[in-house]
Chain A
Amino acid sequence: MIKLLKMMRDNQDRILTDWLDGLKASARRRDLIGDVEVKEHARKILTLISNPPPNTVLEDFSSEGWQTVRDQLMEISISRVAHGSSPSETAQFLLSLKPVMFQLIREQLTTTPDELFREIDVTNNFVDAMALHIAESYIQSRDKVIARQQEEMLELSTPVVMLWDGIVALPVIGTLDSSRAQMVMESLLQAIVQTNSRFAIIDITGVPTVDTLVAQHLLKTITAARLMGAECILSGIRPQIAQTIVHLGITLNDVVTRSKLSDAFRLALERSGRTVVQKAGNAPVVAPLAGVS
């Protein structure tokens, strides 16, 4: 195989040119990844393959000597994921190397058919191994991106907002599963400590369904807040949800509940000794809500 590697070294420029031509010919979305970058990737890979550490053979891609190539493939897959290339496009990038190599072997290593077949077989297996590796790295990189997005979504979905000095609100949106409930609980308790708030309003207008598990999570959060010295008010309970709660036999006796966030806010203001008054001369055009005036 020394011959094969030597041939690659001697013809590196030609292989690169042919390879890139082959890539251009195959249907590739050029808007995703620039020609310059593709060329750079191809050049790096070629250089690394042509100049392996001593005693490294093409037959065994998993050997220690090819680690640099594998790392480079990982790097390429990461950039491909970021550009939005598909897995097949990413694999095609390496598979396009095959015809180029075969052509070169046919031209330059003309010996016996047996030997020719062996060279082609080795090259074929090596390129396949690289393609498989880059496909796997591609999936790994994508999994990482998905995991990160999931985490970010989890954090974004539990914002704690400060309504007034000493009053925080937590609008919960989306279904509360165990991991989210944990996150909700932690962020609310943290916010209570940080803002020194005596009142916390949990608004569940955005929660589509409340089952026993969700109710249990909410009760735990409310109890934990009470242990810290803050009072929780549960708001945004829609009529259907109120019915569900009663039908399920969940008791919310120890919990202060209000149907709307505004009612909960008013209650919190009242309990902290504040009232909202209508300024004279600014009478509303429509009749005020019952209880406000």
Chain B
Amino acid sequence: MERIPILRIGSLLLVTIQVDLYDDLALQLQDDLSTRIAELGATGVLIDISALEIVDSFIGRTLANIAAIARVLDAETVVVGMQPAVAITLVELGMSLPGIRTALNVDLGMEYLRQAATGGDGVGTDHYAE
């Protein structure tokens, strides 16, 4: 069965979704990620969805679930690179995903995760300071 690779960078996990995310694959990813976070004691998860063009409410909910699971396991989740069309679709579906951190690209997401891990509690907007 197809799997989405999970890369480890220090204490962070990087997931790049490059294929159409169908339901089984999303569930598989959720499974794999929770296992890996617990295994490695990761402090942050970065999910790059810049290549994702189609999204439905299930995928939206799965992303929210992943973030919630990661939080329980003491890891921050950042979703980066969401396309405008995907963002509009999610909003129109009524999913504003309040529990998910977002960033424009992998670079900014990584920066945020590093800062969250080293000092700040990750709450508020201080992470924007350069």
**B7 within 8 Å of A (CB atoms):** no
Whether A273 contacts B130 by the Cβ 8 Å rule is yes
Task: Give bound CA distance, A185 to B87, whole Å.
Answer: 10
Per DSSP, are chain A's interface residues mostly helix, strand or loop, or mixed? Answer: helix
Whether B84 contacts A223 by the Cβ 8 Å rule is no
Per DSSP, are chain B's interface residues mostly helix, strand or loop, or mixed? Answer: mixed
Task: Give bound CA distance, A14 to B97, whole Å.
Answer: 79
How close is A286's CB to chain B, nearest CB, in angstroms?
A: 32
Whether A198 contacts B104 by the Cβ 8 Å rule is yes
Interface residues in A179-236 (C-beta closer than 8 Å to B): 185-186, 189-190, 192-193, 196-198, 220, 223-231
Interface string of B117-130 (1 = CB under 8 A from A): 00000000100111
Interface residues in B70-104 (C-beta closer than 8 Å to A): 79-84, 86-88, 90-92, 96-97, 100, 102-104
**A62 within 8 Å of B (CB atoms):** no
Name the residue of chain A whose CB is nearest to the CB of B105. A196
Once A227-B96, A228-B104 are accepted as A-B contacts, the answer to whether A198 and B128 lie under 8 Å apart by CB is yes
Contacts of A198 in B (CB 8 A): 104, 108, 128
How many residues belonging to A are interface residues under a CB distance threshold of 8 Å?
22
How close is A225's CB to chain B, nearest CB, in angstroms?
A: 7
How close is A88's CB to chain B, nearest CB, in angstroms?
A: 47
How close is B93's CB to chain A, nearest CB, in angstroms?
A: 11
Once A198-B104, A198-B108, A229-B108 are accepted as A-B contacts, the answer to whether A224 and B128 lie under 8 Å apart by CB is no
Count how many pairs of residues, one from A and one from B, have CB atoms less than 8 Å apart in the complex: 68
Task: Give bound CA distance, A235 to B82, whole Å.
Answer: 25
Whether A272 contacts B102 by the Cβ 8 Å rule is no
Contacts of B80 in A (CB 8 A): 229
**A118 within 8 Å of B (CB atoms):** no
Contacts of B83 in A (CB 8 A): 193, 228
Whether B82 contacts A228 by the Cβ 8 Å rule is yes
The residue in B80, B91, B130 that gathers the most chain A C-beta atoms within 10 A of its C-beta is: B91
Partner of A229, one of B92, B96, B109, B125: B109
7 A-B pairs with CB atoms under 8 Å apart are A186-B84, A197-B104, A198-B108, A227-B86, A227-B97, A228-B104, A229-B105
Known: A189-B84, A227-B87, A229-B81. 11 other contacts (CB 8 A): A198-B128, A224-B91, A227-B96, A227-B102, A228-B87, A228-B104, A229-B82, A231-B125, A271-B129, A272-B129, A273-B128
Using a CB–CB distance below 8 Å, which chain A residues touch chain B?
A: 185-186, 189-190, 192-193, 196-198, 220, 223-231, 271-273
